[in-house]
């Protein structure tokens, strides 16, 4: 009998080893977070609405409308924002987080003398300042000699390691061999500020390499200075530009073109780029072609203004530099043509966090209204950059929101009075 009991016990213990494990318990679902924002007014990306409120659920906008018609559901936290205007998170159209102002350190020295570690450390501070200024998304259009550091910066932001805007990165950018810089003695080979590529095989390889390393957008220099004291001239041939756009588009990436000469702009437009950056010497014919082809202009007036001041120009004293005079003329032609305008200042040439400088200059010196630039930095940029989940305040879109003191549709300076920033429904300022 004792032997039978022992045998049975051994059998039961063995069977237990092979028995099906208990059914796993379902992980607890994250609690829904509801936030009702009650500002004085809501700018929805197109129009200002007094007395509206916005309900945020987790990282999305759940509802928006007149306060009398939208009550806070049970469990919602209400945030009173008296005297403030709530608007979509601003979208910076042209930045370089791995650069800092040229009056601090010249571009050549940043590329040649600053280590990548130092440049990335600076960029983390630049990203924080950009977000604090109310810019929750930014196109970062080239690392200027820092390789693929922008990809890591973007990953660090996405993983919550550092604060910063949502980034669209261009990584190294593309230049025709010999056309970019830094340029020293002909006997000295130095690191370049962008990736050189030429011909069919070289261009396809370079575009695919950048995409494989994490580029969201491909940037190409359609014109540049071949020598340090020369005017800009077209660089890539029409066939080469066409191939860049074709290769990038087949991988779902748009192409943006640095171009300031009529010929560089014309070739870039015919190739099918998404935007042309700068366009300083654009003509009526080129802008007409851009409008016909659906290519937008990102004028970056703040960059030229800053560089002219670094070179000794004192605004309001004496004649304007030729560069500024020409920019005014090209912008007049661009507006007359009806070409789409993206908004971006080429931040990095001047200080990160001072992104609103572009909007202020467009209003004060180029004839734009505050409403023009406000739409441009929100719904306009979202449309041009193909970002359908942001740029407006409407149900289902990302809860990237900014509250500023005053009415920015009447006074562009109100954009500097940032009192609240939400990114994905989370208060970051």
Please give the C-alpha separations between residue 331 and each of 120, 202, 217, 289, in angstroms, as whole numbers: 34, 35, 25, 15
Quick count: other Cβ atoms within 10 Å of Cβ 316?
6
Residue 14: pLDDT band (50, 70, 90) is very low
Euclidean distance between the first and the last CA atom of the chain, given in angstroms as a whole number: 77
Residue 261 CA to chain centroid, in angstroms?
24
Domain-wise residue ranges, the chain: 34-88+414-427, 90-355
Query: Quick one: three-class SS letters along the chain?
Result: CHHHHHHHHHHHHHHHHHCCCCCCCCCCCCCCCEEEEEEEEEECCCCEEECEEEEEECCEEEEEEEHHHCCCCCCCEEEEEEEEEEEECEEEEEECCCCCCCCCCCHHHHHHHCCHHHHHHHHHHHHHHHHHCCEEEEEECCCCCCCCHHHHHHHHHHCCCCCCCEEEECCCCEECCCCCCCCCCCCCCCCCCCEECCHHHHHHHHHHHHHHHCCCCEEEECEECCCCCCCCEECCCHHHHHHHHHHHHHCCCCEEEEECCHHHHHHHHHHCCCEEEECCCCCHHHHHHHHHHCCEEECCHHHHHHHHHHCCCCCCCCCCCHHHHHHHHHHHHHHHHCCCECCCCCECCCCCCCCCHHHHHHHHHCCCCHHHHHHHHHHHHHHHCCCCCCCCCCCCCECCEEEEECCCCCCHHHHHCEEEEEECCEECC
Q: The dihedral of CA 216, 222, 227, 231: what is its sign?
A: negative
Residue 227: pLDDT band (50, 70, 90) is confident
Give 109-150 pLDDT, tens digit per residue: 999 999 999 999 999 999 999 999 999 999 999 999 999 999
CA distance 307 to 123: 21
What's the mean per-residue pLDDT of the chain?
93
**Which of 136, 121, 139 has the alpha carbon at shortest distance from 217?**
139
* pLDDT value of residue 183: 87
* pLDDT value of residue 30: 60
Give 329-359 pLDDT, tens digit per residue: 999 999 999 999 999 999 999 999 999 999 9
Instruction: Give the CA count within 13 Å in the CB-facing half-sphere of 226.
Output: 5
**Which of 210, 217, 208 has the alpha carbon at shortest distance from 194?**
210
CA distance 170 to 357: 23
Give 228-277 pLDDT, tens digit per residue: 889 999 999 999 999 999 999 999 999 999 999 999 999 999 999 999 99
Give 264-315 pLDDT, tens digit per residue: 999 999 999 999 999 999 999 999 999 999 999 999 999 999 999 999 999 9
**Which of 267, 252, 56, 49 has the alpha carbon at shortest distance from 168?**
252
Residue 316 near residue 330, CB atoms below 8 Å: no
Q: Is the pLDDT of residue 29 over 70?
A: no
* pLDDT value of residue 31: 79
Give 384-408 pLDDT, tens digit per residue: 999 999 999 999 999 999 999 999 9
Q: Is the pLDDT of residue 22 over 50?
A: no
* pLDDT value of residue 174: 98
Question: pTM score, two decimals?
Answer: 0.92
* pLDDT value of residue 7: 41
Quick count: other Cβ atoms within 10 Å of Cβ 371?
17
**Which of 34, 29, 54 has the alpha carbon at shortest distance from 42?**
54
CA distance 358 to 371: 14
* pLDDT value of residue 9: 46
Is domain 90-355 in CATH 3.40.640.10, yes or no? no
* pLDDT value of residue 21: 40
- State phi, psi for 161 to the nearest 5 degrees: -70, -40
* pLDDT value of residue 24: 41
Residue 232 near residue 223, CB atoms below 8 Å: yes
Residue 164 near residue 130, CB atoms below 8 Å: yes
- State mean pLDDT over 149-170: 98
- State mean pLDDT over 206-232: 95
**Torsion, Cα of 381, 383, 388, 392 (10° steps):** 60
**Which of 340, 345, 371, 375 has the alpha carbon at shortest distance from 357?**
345
Fold topology of 34-88+414-427: Urease, subunit C; domain 1 (2.30.40)
Q: Is the pLDDT of residue 1 over 50?
A: no
* pLDDT value of residue 186: 85
Give 85-117 pLDDT, tens digit per residue: 999 999 999 999 999 999 999 999 999 999 999
Residue 343 near residue 377, CB atoms below 8 Å: yes
- State phi, psi for 82 to the nearest 5 degrees: -65, 135
Q: Is the pLDDT of residue 369 over 90?
A: yes
């Amino acid at each position: 009998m004792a032997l039978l009991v022992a045998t049975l016990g051994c059998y039961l213990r063995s069977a237990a080893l092979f028995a099906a494990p208990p059914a796993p318990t379902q992980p607890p679902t994250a609690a829904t977070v509801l936030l009702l924002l009650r500002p004085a007014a809501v700018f929805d990306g197109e129009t200002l609405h007094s007395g509206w409120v916005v309900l945020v659920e987790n990282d999305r906008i759940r509802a928006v409308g007149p306060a009398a018609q939208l009550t806070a559901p049970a469990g919602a936290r209400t945030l009173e924002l008296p005297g403030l205007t709530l608007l979509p998170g601003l979208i910076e159209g042209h930045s370089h987080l791995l650069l800092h102002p040229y009056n601090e350190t010249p571009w050549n020295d940043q590329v040649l003398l600053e280590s990548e570690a130092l440049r990335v450390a600076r960029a983390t501070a630049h990203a924080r300042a950009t977000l604090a200024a109310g810019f929750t998304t930014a196109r970062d259009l080239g690392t200027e000699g820092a390789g693929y550091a922008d990809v890591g910066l973007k990953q660090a932001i996405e993983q919550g390691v550092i604060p910063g805007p949502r980034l669209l990165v261009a990584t190294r950018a593309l230049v025709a061999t010999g056309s970019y810089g830094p340029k020293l003695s002909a006997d000295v080979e130095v690191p370049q500020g962008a990736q050189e590529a030429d011909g069919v095989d070289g261009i396809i390889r370079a575009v695919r390499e950048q995409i494989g390393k994490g580029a969201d957008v491909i940037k190409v220099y359609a014109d540049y200075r071949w020598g340090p004291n020369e005017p800009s001239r077209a660089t890539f041939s029409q066939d080469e530009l066409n191939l860049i756009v074709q290769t990038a588009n087949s991988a779902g990436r748009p192409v943006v073109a640095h171009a300031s000469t009529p010929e560089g702009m014309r070739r870039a437009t015919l190739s099918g780029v998404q935007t042309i950056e700068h366009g300083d010497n654009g003509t009526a014919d080129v802008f007409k072609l851009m409008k016909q082809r659906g290519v937008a202009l990102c004028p970056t007036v703040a960059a030229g203004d800053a560089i002219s001041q670094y070179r000794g120009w004192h605004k309001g004293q004496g004649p304007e530099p030729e560069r500024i005079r020409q920019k005014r003329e090209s912008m007049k032609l661009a507006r007359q043509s009806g070409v789409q305008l993206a908004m971006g200042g080429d931040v990095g040439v001047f200080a990160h966090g001072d992104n609103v400088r572009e909007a202020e200059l467009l209003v004060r010196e180029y004839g734009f209204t505050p409403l023009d630039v406000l739409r441009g930095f929100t719904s306009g940029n979202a449309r041009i950059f193909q970002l359908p989940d942001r740029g407006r305040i409407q149900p289902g879109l990302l809860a990237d929101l900014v509250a500023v003191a005053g009415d920015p549709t009447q006074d562009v300076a109100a954009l500097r009075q940032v009192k609240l920033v939400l990114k994905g429904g989370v208060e970051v300022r």
